[in-house]
Amino acid sequence: MDKNARTVVSITVFPGGKNTNKNLVRSQKSMDIIVMPTAAEAEFLTARIIADAINAKPFYKLGLATGRTMENVYAELVKMNKAGKVDFSRVISFNLDEYVGLKGTAEKNKDSYRYFMNYHLFNHVNIDKRNTHVPNGFAPEDELEAAAAAYEEEMEDAGGVDMQLLGIGRSGHIGFNEPMSSFSSRTRVVTLTKTTFEQNSPLFKKPEDMPMRAMTMGVGTCLDAKRLLLLATHKEKANIVAAALEGPVTSMISATALQLHDNAVVVLDADAASKLKYKDEYAFQFANDPKWAAYQPVARKSSRRKAK
Ligand code: GLP
């Protein structure tokens, strides 16, 4: 199969599992930007979008992300799963990235992204761990390239990723696609930047233990997902979010690649959105787009909602 071929048919997901829009050729041409007042509300909305998508298509191929931003999203999904509101039993997951150069095994090393995923999500929901995939950054040095290629094949064999969850790093990276990553890049080993070292090393017991390499899906790999869902919260992301969403498309900020995707949703809290120029437009669109009707914070009082 041609790796660059992308499916143009998608299912528009409506909450409650009703696919009233099944098999329509995608009509969305612009990104949806949703700004919630608080981080907690943004995290909850993100979890709901994921749960609704799984409920609409149980054999869902879900791309997952790590980072502090995602911790509460996973906590919400765990709650929903325990309450019987979302079933992970047939979900197949693919994580974005993994460090290269950590000691021991992915399962046992507390700094690994495999450990993060088990700890925050997989250990607490009814997902079959055999269906969870994280790039094999623990492969021996001379097998890393083959492991990266194998990861691409696994995604392809699964029929591609239905929705890829993304965070954004201070360097503008999605996954670990640091500045200058080609928009056609695939899963590979990369060297991390100083900005990323400063961002992530405080999470390590000894900051100097943070590896300077990682295996990450490429920007091209992310763009192949049928839907993208990016979450960013807190003031520290405000500048990079504005550059990523409203700035020119550039490989210096890999998150600008979202502008090239035709089914991307960005969820922000007010702080992360604070530097956006066109906030009012995004709020108006969110308030009036029927696709988001069930996600409105309060019941509709009139047919034309005013953006807050
Ligand atoms: C790491 C991950 C990214 C993530 C970023 C943001 O670098 N590789 O996928 O988006 O962290 O991290 P945080 O959510 O902690 O700000």
Q: Give the three-class secondary structure for 61.
A: strand
Q: Is the pLDDT of residue 5 over 70?
A: no
Q: Give pLDDT, residue 30.
A: 78
Which tens digit of pLDDT belongs to each residue from 128-175? 999 999 999 999 999 999 999 999 999 999 999 999 999 999 999 999
For 256-283, what is each residue's pLDDT tens digit? 999 999 999 999 999 999 999 999 999 9
Q: Is the Cβ atom of 176 under 6 angstroms away from ligand 1?
A: yes
**pLDDT grade for 58, boundaries at 50, 70 and 90:** confident
Per the model's pLDDT, the better-predicted residue between 25 and 130 turns out to be 130
Higher-confidence position of 10 and 211? 211
- CA dihedral for 133, 42, 226, 216, sign (positive or negative): negative
The H or E element that residue 132 is part of is strand 132-133
The closest-lying atom of ligand 1 relative to the alpha carbon of residue 65 is 9
pLDDT at 237 > cutoff 60: yes
Q: How many Å lie between the centroid of ligand 1 and the Cα of residue 167? A: 6
Banded pLDDT at 29 (limits 50, 70, 90):
low
Task: Ligand 1 pocket test: pick from 43, 46, 64, 69 the residue with the most ligand atoms within 8 Å of its Cβ.
Answer: 69
Residue 82 has pLDDT above 50, yes or no: yes
Res 17: pLDDT:
34
Tell whether the model's pLDDT for residue 85 goes beyond 60: yes
Question: CB count, 10 Å around CB of 271?
Answer: 20
- Give the C-alpha separation, 100 to 203, whole Å: 16
Q: Which pLDDT does position 7 carry in this prediction? A: 35
What count of other Cβ atoms lies within 10 Å of the Cβ of residue 202?
A: 9
Which has the minimum average pLDDT: 102-116, 120-134, 267-281, 284-298?
284-298
45 CA distance to ligand 1 middle (Å): 19
Tokens at residue 185, please? Answer: 């890049």
Q: How far is the CA of 218 from the centre of ligand 1 (A)?
A: 15
Contact 218, 148 (CB under 8 A): no
pLDDT for 101 equals 97
pLDDT tops 80 at residue 21: no
**Mean pLDDT on 3-16:** 36
Q: What's the mean per-residue pLDDT of the chain? A: 90
